Amino acid sequence: MATGDQLIYYYLAWYIVLPAIYVALMTIYANKFQFWTMSGEVNRAFRELKGLRDSGISKFNAYISAATQDESSRSRLRSLLDLFAVSPVDLDPVGIVPKLKHLMDEYEQRFKSEASTALKSNDPVLIGKTVGYAEAAASLDILYKIVNHFLWLTNKYSSLGLLQQLYAIMPLVLKMGKSFLGFMDALEKGAPIGDGIGPMSVGLLMLGAQKFDIAPDTSAALTKMEDRRVLLVKAKGPASNLGHLDDAVQRARLIYGGISAIITIDAQLRLESERSGDTARGVGVAIGGLGVERFNIEEKASEEGIPLYAILVKESYIEAITAMAKDIAESVDAVHDALREVLREKVPPEGLAVVIGVGNTLGVAQ
């Protein structure tokens, strides 16, 4: 049986000395323990990202191996993974938009010309598919390289701050990586993607109408809806295209004169609490990207007082660049109803409305 002195020693050890040691260790090593724990999670996610990158590169290599037997052509197609565009000087922001438009047009044409030369083909569907594969593989590669760069810095300087940021964004990075692979799968099947809901909505209205090229890679058709003249515009499918929508609007002004309204139909990135496939209506030009096309359309519309309306379909980032989900495809009827309502209420009888289906036309004909 323990004596009184022994009980005092036990009490001091369990309730004073050991807690004091624990507090001292936590004070000294708490950040290191946190670093080790979070580092393990980040490295696990990074290995998964590397697997996604490797899978994307393998898919791209398998595609070009099947597309051409010429090794020099394959090498030329692989070089597309490193193709880049240098941002124009913006020290004086006046005139930056024409510079950006020129640069992005050149970048797009370089991509397509390289693919056309390597494949010895002018087939727009084949070229669009090749460019899509290259862009998806390049996106996975640069995503991997950026994360790898910051992971190296984190380990080099044992930076808990950098590690915490990587820990926070890795789930989103992995979602992006998986969506790029999903885009490759859609390319392989020639299936429409979620971002194509705008072109799909407009393309269905083009059925039976006389189509013509109104701008590079951009198709149009003049029809009647609700006793109003409607010029339907979308990128030319079923190749993977985005078109030149601002040029199409400029050409429409030259061909038809006055425009009563410009209506854009596009996908909208939804919030987590929102439901995919829901539609929303508003004003403005609904075109994403760098904003060059939106700027040009807004500028012409503001000069002439042309009303701008938008119809949006909500979807997640992953849904936008992977094969179109059923909920999104079924929103076409709601989009058409919203369009007819805007035409009736905002466009005068016999007026001309330009309706633009914004988005990637992969798998969407006209």
Supply the pLDDT for residue 37.
84
The pTM for the full model equals 0.87
Domain range spanning residue 166?
34-189
Predicted local distance difference test score (pLDDT) of residue 24: 66
Edge-to-edge strand list for the sheet holding 352-357:
211-215, 218-225, 228-235, 352-357, 261-269, 308-315, 279-283
Whole-number pLDDT of residue 94: 83
Task: Identify whether the C-beta of residue 279 lies closer than 8 Å to the C-beta of residue 271.
Answer: no
Q: Is 171 a domain residue?
A: yes
- Are both 257 and 138 inside the same structural domain? no
The whole-angstrom separation of Cα 319 and Cα 192 is: 11
- Is 156 in the same domain as 267? no
Considering the domain boundaries, does residue 172 fall inside one? Answer: yes
Say if 315 falls within a structural domain.
Answer: yes
Following DSSP, what letter does each residue of 194-206 receive, concatenated?
GGGHHHHHHHHHH
| Last residue in a domain, options 159, 189, 219 | 189
Residue 98 forms part of a structural domain: yes
Claim to verify: residue 157 and residue 68 sit in the same structural domain: yes
CA dihedral of 338, 344, 350, 356, whole degrees rounded to 10: -20
Same domain, 70 and 106: yes
Q: Tokens standing for 120?
A: 């010895």
Same domain, 185 and 198: no
What pLDDT, on the 0 to 100 scale, is given for residue 141? Answer: 95
Q: Considering 189, 208, 235, which residue would you say is the last residue of a domain?
A: 189
- Same-domain pairing of 325 and 237: yes
Could you list the beta-strand ranges (E) of the chain: 211-215, 218-225, 228-235, 261-269, 279-283, 308-315, 352-357
Compute mean pLDDT per 10 residues along the chain, 366 residues long, and list them: 57 63 66 81 94 96 91 91 88 87 91 92 91 94 95 89 92 94 92 94 93 94 93 92 93 90 95 93 92 94 94 94 93 96 92 95 88
Instruction: Assign residue 297 the CATH number of its domain.
Output: 3.40.50.1470
Query: Are 69 and 206 contained in the same domain?
Result: no
Q: How do residues 310-335 score in pLDDT, each as one tens digit? A: 999 999 989 999 999 999 999 999 99
Helix (H, G, I), strand (E, B) or coil at 225: strand
Q: Which of 126, 159, 189 is the last residue of a domain?
A: 189
Pair 163, 221 in one domain? no
CA 2 to chain centre: 73
Q: Is residue 21 part of a domain?
A: no
Q: Determine, yes or no, domain membership for 180.
A: yes
Domain count, the chain: 2
Distance CA(328)–CA(195), nearest Å, equals: 10
pLDDT at 4: 56
Q: DSSP secondary-structure letter at 353?
A: E
Q: Both 212 and 338 in a single domain?
A: yes
On whether both 166 and 269 belong to a single domain, the answer is no
74-104 pLDDT, tens per residue? 999 999 988 888 889 888 888 899 999 999 9
Domain shared by 102 and 205, yes or no: no
**Do 204 and 122 have their domain in common?**
no
- Whether residue 71 lies inside any domain: the answer is yes
SS3 235: strand
pLDDT, residue 15, reads 62
